[in-house]
Amino acid sequence: MAKSKKTKARKPIPRFETEDREREFWAKKDSAGYVDWSKGKRVVLAELKPSTMTISLRLPEAMLEALKLLANSRDVPYQSLLKMFLAERIRQELRAGGGPPEPSPLGAGPGEEPGPPSGRGPFDLLRL
């Protein structure tokens, strides 16, 4: 015997006088009573510019200088290069499961002894 799916009756979406009224409505209502989300489709909004937020970030001077050197060698602004590095690392973390990494004592990298920088080069201070 075939099972039939029962679909819950949806309320009709009202007409709104203004976008502000619509925003107020949806801020107070659960859309599940009005929209059958199981029939939703993913869309790509290629022309949509992502919103940005200005933040203040304190970096060690050596790290900032190294970032500027790298950016200059790639002929890009250092802020753009920093965003590219962050985006790449976020993608890696999300692909790997997104869990927080194990803490490293005093900033030691994998296979390194904890302690101050070894003096091997200018990038020793860049351990995160």
pLDDT at 10: 85
pLDDT at 57: 93
pLDDT at 78: 96
pLDDT at 125: 44
pLDDT at 47: 83
* pTM for the predicted model, two decimal places: 0.44
pLDDT at 71: 96
109 secondary structure, DSSP code:
-
What parts of the chain have a pLDDT lower than 50?
1, 104-109, 112-128
User: What burial letters (b/e) apply to 85-124, b meaning 16+ CB within 10 Å?
Assistant: eeeeeeeeeeeeeeeeeeeeeebeeeeeeeeeeeeeeeee
